[in-house]
Amino acid sequence: MKNKKWTKFFVVALSCMMVFAMTACGGGSDSGSSEEGDAAAVLHLGGVGPLTGPAALYGTAVKNGAQLAVDEINAANPDGLQLAWDMQDDEHDAEKSVNAYNKLVDDGMQILVGTVTTAPCTAVAAEAYEDRMFALTPSASGPAVTEGNDNVFQLCFSDPNQGIASADYIKENFGDKTVGVIYNNADNYSSGIYDKFKSEYEAGGKKLAAEEAFSDDANADFTAQLNSMKNAGVDLIFLPIYYTPASNIMTQANKMGYEPTFFGVDGMDGILDLEGFDTSLAEGVMLLTPFTPYSEDEEVQKFVKAYEDAYGETPIQFAADAYDCVYAVYDAFQKTGLDASASYDEICEAMIGVFTGGDFKASGLTADEMQWEASGEVNKTPKVCVIEDGKYVEQ
């Protein structure tokens, strides 16, 4: 009897040791080319986002954009600090996202570049806050992501900021237009922007002529909403929604013979690449976006070319956000003066210090001189683009 107990204990202990050894190996093997003792020179970046499922477009763009930046940094300075990049799939699901995050932590991740979408990111941010893991998300724009988490930062505009910036731009440039809004009331992103847009737009005594909602179903009948806009005399419709329902709205408005100006936010990015969509319907659409692949900026052109060569498609904004994230994290890490062998909680405190220190500015494809608030929100100037001849033209 006693013997048996000891055997059991021995087996358990042995398997514990094996698991431990294996995870240690897993962490080490990511470092790739470097030899055993030199593992200290590799900083491990982890990412989580939807690589499959309906939001796969965004996760894949982040994965590819970050990979490009990592390859560039590693190639530019082969003897200096090297980066390792590992991205896990979460299918845009909060539970899977947390699991993927935990796996990355076990594998030795030191900084999280993610996660990609808002709802999963909110769940992961809470974990990262508990763990003291520094996180910079390229694209999760909801306010809940950074709220109460001093170690989570956003590289994209937060939803409220997009609403405020859009309202200010419209008031300034289209003061004489009658403005209406169609938004998705089942989506945090859309209703978050709408709330701020409304309060900012109406702050100066102006009124929105019509506000209509729809719920999630991108393929719905929008004639009721459009008729209400038309009857209210609206000639500028603000669309804080993704490009899929937006394309549907534009097609139906065209059939009705109703031609207002459409004004979108960063979710509108992608409408020109929608297969089968008559892009002439999007002519004159304005949108607030931090990145367009058609920009004449030299850096952007270089990035677009490298991306097209590597992945065979034109990068969307998410790819540029991820690219900038990697550079921002790399630059900030250099400023901390830490060694790549530092533990992630040590790195976290030092990175928070740099990000909120006041003199750290990151430049990239999506903006020059980005700075961060202690709340985690980014300060950068939005670019307004208008679609002309099937291309984005910066205003």
Q: Given the rule CB under 8 A, which residues bind another protein?
A: 53-57, 185, 212-215, 217-225, 227-228, 231, 244-245, 247-248, 251-252, 255-257, 274-278
Containing 383, the helix (H) or strand (E) segment is strand 383-388
235: three-class secondary structure by DSSP:
coil
Q: Which is nearer to another protein, 183 or 307 (CB)?
A: 183
- Residue 135: enclosing H or E segment and its boundaries? strand 134-137
| Shortest Å, Cβ 242 to another protein | 9
How near is the Cβ of 96 to another protein at its closest, in Å? 16
Q: Which is nearer to another protein, 281 or 325 (CB)?
A: 281
Residue 189 CB, nearest approach to another protein (Å): 17
**C-alpha angle 31/59/243, rounded to 5°?**
160
* Residue 49 near residue 112 (C-beta atoms within 8 A): no
Please tell me the total number of residues recorded for the chain in this structure: 395
82 or 115: CB nearest another protein? 115
The pair phi, psi for residue 89, each rounded to 5°, is -85, 140
Q: Please give the Cα distance from 331 to 76 (Å, whole number).
A: 14
- Minimum Å gap between C-beta 146 and another protein is 28
For another protein, the closer of residues 179 and 352 by Cβ is: 179
Spatial distance between the Cα atoms of 231 and 46, rounded to a whole number of angstroms: 51
Integer Cα distance of 83 and 79 in angstroms: 12
Minimum distance of another protein from residue 231's CB (angstroms):
7
Q: How far is the CB of 52 from another protein (least distance, A)?
A: 8
**Segment (H or E) for 19:** helix 2-29
Give the angle subtended at the CA of 220 by the CAs of 59 and 208, to the nearest 5°. Answer: 90
Q: Following DSSP, what letter does each residue of 171-211 receive, concatenated?
A: HHH-TTS-EEEEEETT-HHHHHHHHHHHHHHGGGT---SEE
Could you tell me the smallest distance in angstroms from the CB atom of residue 217 to another protein? 5
For another protein, which is the closer residue by CB, 40 or 57?
A: 57
For the bound state, the minimum distance from the C-beta of residue 241 to another protein, rounded and expressed in Å, comes to 12
Closer CB to another protein, 46 or 270, in the complex: 270
Give the nearer residue to another protein in terms of CB position, either 102 or 244: 244
- The nearer residue to another protein, 91 or 377, going by C-beta atoms, is 91
CB of 262 to another protein, least distance (A): 16
> What's the rounded Cα separation, in Å, for the pair 293 and 189?
23
Pick the closer one to another protein by CB: 54 or 205: 54
Cα radius of gyration (the chain): 23
- Residue 166: strand, helix, or coil: helix
If the CB atoms of residues 227 and 375 are measured against another protein, the closer one turns out to be 227
Is 236:264 a contact under the CB 8 Å cutoff? no
Q: What angle do CA 60, 294, 394 make, to 5 degrees?
A: 120
Closest contact distance (angstroms) between CB of 220 and another protein is 7
Phi, psi of 365 (to 5 degrees): -75, -30
| DSSP state at residue 342 | S
Decide: 379 and 373 in contact? Cβ < 8 Å.
Answer: yes
